[in-house]
């Protein structure tokens, strides 16, 4: 017994024997009658109170009390709305599935539809056909779970990082990216100047690199930088990228007669072919004489190396890599790099100074061991389809430690484009939603499907629609997601949704349609199977939509709030649209969602026979039924092609001054018409204005032609299919009532 739904831990547990009836169990609890309106649901089916006395408790029985209160006079809230809002919170938390089942849904659909109906009644948006962006979209502030923050979408963490064990990014369209470090950066000294070497991974696939920048400045402004774009399958030639550094070497001072080290250069099970040593003279090298000038001083040192095994045990004697010296008269710190070839193996190194350090305060004579590097044999191996960026930069006043990690690129993905005449093209720069969708399905990092498993013809058609509208996909996948989640995000950017049918991945866009693919009337709807659920708005229902997108103008998160005419923007629902980088695109999608939220609030379910398999997800169907006054449906029982008189199975009535029409069902289940009609000699006859271009069946050799009759524009309800499920020999169709205002922005020029 849960008396307070907001305190689920404060509950009572009581025993109930399965042989008891509901009324008997209530009697054992001292409940003769509830003091509040209460609904009883058993196994998802509501029960009348009259049935409580003869219904046994042998399943899941739920009592839902409708709380009372709130409001009154004096400007308080509407008490009915207060009651509904409380019920929303109670039911959505615990009883989504049973409520969905009570509305005619079953299984997972019951929970999904039931909870969605409840929550959208009192909260944000209703979008039945194209799902709203999911909560696990890439975050503009931080990463989630064990994944590291996105270097592109995370404002707090934008920069170049070594994102270990994270996915290699996949970029679609045109986007700014902060490429990950593909290898450990390292420095070398030449002419007493430091050169930093960084290898970056732009992403999987081939890219047209429009610009390389440090922060907001093009890299061409820095004369100190040279770079190489490494296309897929090519090698890094600018420098050796596979370098390891011994962390133990960190500026130790070298003294005569004392060996520093040995320190292992490379990890176990690896081999190096060269060893790099950095020597630092932090005070310069000089003697300050009595006249105030500088005299030459010299310093010398020795570097040894020895091969070791995987456990660190030596497998040979020490060998001298080099005996070096330097003479100078300068107070400028000196930095030297030496690179020694060695036989391929694992090594440890040690160093010592050969001359005695002069400790006089007038002398700069200090020698330190700055760094030890190993250049691995074989180099780094990357997948064949990865694009890399190698950068070598000279440390100057223009380049700081922070700016060296703020390298970013503006790139456009290159993808093959499909056409029915020529098949797949070579890679071309594209921002297409369609070909990004296809790439996810075909690529080795995607679903790896063959072309036969993809509805390429539909993608080609949609590509023309998206291109004409200016809808593009500019997004970065740098967090791990499922194939289906990636497809959903990409399709959602184009107001579409993917679905699997007959082993083929298809995609459907929510757009204005006029021709229904099927007609359903009482003649082919199973008796008592038609159910209508109204998703009622509440006080907290969103009246506007705030779309957050990643602007291609500033390469920062931006947002725009839109609302329908005559509505305020006091309570906007906020969502992120992955892949959207322009305000115009965001406004279009925001208006669409606002219209869907306002006008698509009727969920219809019906059952029919195998003709229910004719429509698929997103198709437009016509439903004629006299119960909700959606026209009149029936069969043509007689037809005279000469007089164009049709005799009907159901009577129809004409309203004076109103044009009337009749739609006819084709043999393939489609719809012919609607055709203009005028009254016949009685209520069972009509005269069709012109001869239909389809055969009209009235005999026994084929099923009679079905019709839907009514006032023009009201002869049936137009609905979009959102689910088709076989139920034995029947098919259950779930759909959402269509409204032309959902697409009004698309139908208005320059909207």
Write the CB contacts of 565 (distance below 8 Å, at least 6 apart in sequence): none
pLDDT for 170: 92
pLDDT for 342: 94
The pLDDT tens digits of the residues spanning 129-161 come to: 776 665 444 444 333 344 555 666 665 557 767
For residue 609, give the nearest of 526, 671, 667 by alpha carbon: 526
| Residue at a domain's end among 62, 91, 122 | 122
Q: Which whole number is the average pLDDT over 694-716?
A: 84
Residue 104 predicted with pLDDT over 60: no
Same domain? For 620 and 644 the reply is: yes
Same domain? For 608 and 743 the reply is: yes
Confidence bin at 258 (pLDDT 50/70/90): very high
Same domain? For 49 and 116 the reply is: yes
Domain annotation covers residue 511: no
| Residue at a domain's end among 361, 376, 391 | 376
| Residue at a domain's end among 600, 624, 652 | 600
Q: Which range, of 21-25, 163-167, 245-249, 416-420, averages the lowest pLDDT?
A: 163-167
Domain annotation covers residue 396: yes
Strands (E), 103-185: 170-172, 174-177, 180-181
The pLDDT tens digits of the residues spanning 19-62 come to: 888 888 888 877 777 767 788 888 778 888 888 888 888 777 77
Same domain? For 279 and 394 the reply is: no
- Tokens 């045109």, residue located: 174
| Averaged pLDDT of the chain | 82
- Tokens 């929303």, residue located: 88
3-state secondary structure of 370: strand
Same domain? For 83 and 175 the reply is: no
Residue 417 predicted with pLDDT over 60: yes
Same domain? For 592 and 610 the reply is: no
pLDDT for 448: 92
Q: In CATH, what number is assigned to the domain containing residue 196?
A: 2.60.40
3-state secondary structure of 408: strand
Q: What single DSSP character describes residue 388? A: E
Confidence bin at 282 (pLDDT 50/70/90): very high
Confidence bin at 121 (pLDDT 50/70/90): very low
* Percent of the chain's residues with pLDDT above 90: 33
Residue 461 predicted with pLDDT over 60: yes
pLDDT for 11: 65
pLDDT for 364: 93
Domain annotation covers residue 305: yes
Residue 14 predicted with pLDDT over 80: no
Same domain? For 264 and 300 the reply is: yes
Residue 466 predicted with pLDDT over 80: yes
CA distance 352 to 519: 92
Residue 123 predicted with pLDDT over 90: no
Domain annotation covers residue 454: no
pLDDT for 299: 95
CA distance 58 to 243: 70
Q: Which whole number is the average pLDDT over 474-491?
A: 90
Three-class DSSP labels, 31-85: CCCCCCCEEEEECCEEECHHHHHHCECCCCEEEEECCCCCCCCCCCCCHHHHHHH
* Full domain range(s) for residue 402: 170-237+382-411
Q: Which range, of 98-102, 509-513, 633-637, 732-736, averages the lowest pLDDT?
A: 98-102
Q: Which whole number is the average pLDDT over 706-714?
A: 86
Same domain? For 255 and 296 the reply is: yes
pLDDT for 140: 43
Domain annotation covers residue 163: no
| C-alpha separations of 338 from 248, 302, 323, 372 in Å | 18, 12, 11, 10
Residue 350 predicted with pLDDT over 90: yes
Residue 473 predicted with pLDDT over 90: yes
Domain annotation covers residue 329: yes
Residue 110 predicted with pLDDT over 50: no
The pLDDT tens digits of the residues spanning 198-225 come to: 999 999 999 999 999 888 888 888 888 8
Contact 178, 407 (CB under 8 A): yes
DSSP 552-602: TTTSSEEEEEE--TT---SSEEEEE-TT---HHHHHHHHHHHHHHHHH--E
The count of domains in the chain is: 5
Same domain? For 565 and 670 the reply is: no
Q: 122: part of which helix (H) or strand (E)?
A: helix 107-122
Domain annotation covers residue 154: no
Residue 434 predicted with pLDDT over 90: yes
The pLDDT tens digits of the residues spanning 74-103 come to: 344 433 333 333 332 233 333 344 444 443
Burial category of 122 from C-beta neighbours within 10 Å (exposed 0-12, middle 13-18, buried 19 and up): buried
- Tokens 């330097």, residue located: 326
Same domain? For 607 and 542 the reply is: no
The pLDDT tens digits of the residues spanning 370-406 come to: 999 999 987 677 778 899 999 998 877 666 666 777 8
pLDDT for 450: 92
pLDDT for 222: 81
The pLDDT tens digits of the residues spanning 293-331 come to: 999 999 999 999 999 999 999 998 999 999 999 999 999
Same domain? For 723 and 625 the reply is: yes
| C-alpha separations of 398 from 159, 193, 225, 395, 648 in Å | 18, 14, 11, 8, 87
Same domain? For 740 and 620 the reply is: yes
Residue 671 predicted with pLDDT over 60: yes
pLDDT for 103: 37
Q: In CATH, what number is assigned to the domain containing residue 261?
A: 2.60.120
Q: Which whole number is the average pLDDT over 682-701?
A: 84
Domain annotation covers residue 153: no
């Amino acid at each position: 017994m849960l008396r307070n739904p907001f305190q689920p831990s404060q509950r009572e547990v009581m025993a109930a024997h399965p042989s008891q009836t509901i009324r008997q169990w209530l009697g054992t609890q001292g409940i003769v009658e509830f003091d509040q309106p209460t609904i009883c649901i058993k196994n998802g089916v509501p029960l009348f109170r009259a049935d409580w006395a003869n219904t046994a408790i042998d399943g899941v029985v739920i009592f839902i009390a409708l709380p009372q209160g709130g409001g009154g006079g004096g400007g308080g809230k509407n008490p009915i709305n207060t009651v509904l809002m409380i019920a929303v919170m109670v039911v959505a938390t615990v009883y989504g599935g049973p409520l969905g089942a009570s509305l005619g849904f079953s299984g997972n659909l019951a929970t999904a539809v039931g909870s969605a109906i409840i929550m959208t009644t009192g909260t944000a948006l209703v979008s039945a056909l194209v799902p709203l962006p999911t909560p696990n979209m890439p975050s503009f502030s931080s990463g989630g779970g064990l994944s590291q923050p996105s270097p592109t979408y995370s404002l707090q963490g934008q920069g170049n990082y070594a994102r270990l064990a994270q996915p290699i990014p996949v970029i679609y369209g045109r986007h700014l990216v902060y490429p990950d470090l593909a290898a450990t950066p390292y420095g070398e000294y030449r002419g007493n100047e430091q050169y930093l070497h960084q290898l970056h991974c732009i992403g999987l696939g081939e890219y047209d690199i429009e610009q390389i920048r440090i922060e907001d400045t093009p890299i061409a402004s820095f004369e100190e930088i040279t770079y190489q774009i490494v296309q897929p399958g090519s090698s890094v030639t600018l420098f050796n990228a596979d370098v390891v550094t011994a962390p133990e070497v960190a500026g130790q001072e070298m003294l005569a007669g004392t060996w520093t080290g040995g320190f292992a250069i490379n990890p176990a099970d690896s081999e190096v072919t060269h060893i790099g040593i950095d020597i630092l003279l932090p005070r310069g090298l000089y003697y300050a004489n009595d006249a105030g000038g500088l005299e030459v001083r010299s310093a010398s040192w020795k570097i040894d190396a020895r091969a070791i095994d995987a456990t660190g045990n030596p497998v040979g004697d020490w060998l001298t890599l080099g005996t070096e010296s330097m003479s100078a008269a300068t107070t400028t710190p000196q930095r030297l790099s030496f690179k020694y070839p060695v036989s391929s193996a694992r090594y440890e190194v040690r160093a010592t100074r050969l001359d005695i350090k002069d400790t006089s305060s007038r002398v700069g004579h200090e020698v330190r061991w700055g760094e030890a590097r190993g250049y691995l044999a074989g180099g780094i191996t990357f997948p064949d389809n990865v694009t890399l960026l190698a950068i070598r930069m000279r440390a100057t006043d223009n380049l700081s430690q922070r700016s060296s990690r703020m390298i970013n690129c503006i790139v456009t993905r290159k993808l093959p484009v499909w056409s029915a005449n020529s098949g797949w093209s070579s890679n071309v720069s594209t921002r297409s939603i369609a070909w990004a969708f296809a790439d996810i399905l075909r690529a080795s990092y995607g679903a790896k499907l063959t072309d036969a498993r993809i509805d390429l013809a539909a993608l080609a058609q949609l590509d023309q629609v998206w291109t004409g509208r200016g809808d593009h996909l500019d997004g970065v996948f740098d967090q791990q997601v499922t194939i289906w989640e990636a497809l959903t995000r990409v399709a959602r950017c184009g107001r579409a949704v993917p679905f699997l049918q007959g082993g083929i991945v298809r995609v459907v866009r929510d757009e204005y349609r006029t021709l229904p693919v099927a007609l359903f009337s009482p003649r082919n709807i199973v008796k008592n199977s038609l159910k209508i659920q109204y998703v009622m708005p509440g006080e907290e229902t969103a009246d506007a939509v705030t779309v957050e997108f990643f602007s291609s103008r500033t390469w920062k998160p931006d947002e725009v709030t839109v609302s329908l005419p005559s509505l305020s923007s006091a309570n906007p629902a906020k969502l992120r649209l992955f892949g959207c980088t322009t305000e115009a695109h965001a406004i279009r999608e925001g208006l669409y969602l606002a219209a869907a939220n306002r006008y698509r609030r009727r969920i219809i379910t019906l059952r029919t026979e195998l003709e229910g398999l004719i429509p698929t997800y997103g198709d437009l169907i016509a439903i004629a039924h006299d119960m909700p006054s959606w026209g009149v449906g029936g069969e043509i029982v007689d037809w005279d092609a000469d007089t164009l008189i049709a005799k009907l199975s159901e009577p129809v009535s004409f309203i004076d001054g109103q044009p009337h029409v009749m739609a006819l069902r084709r043999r393939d289940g489609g719809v012919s018409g609607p055709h203009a009609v005028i009254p016949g000699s009685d209520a069972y006859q009509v005269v069709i204005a012109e001869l239909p271009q389809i055969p009209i069946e009235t005999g026994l050799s084929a099923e009679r032609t079905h019709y839907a009759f009514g006032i023009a524009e009201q002869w049936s309800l137009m609905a979009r299919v959102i689910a088709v499920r076989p139920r034995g020999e029947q098919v259950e169709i779930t759909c959402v009532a269509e409204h032309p205002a959902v697409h009004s922005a698309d139908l208005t020029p320059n909207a």
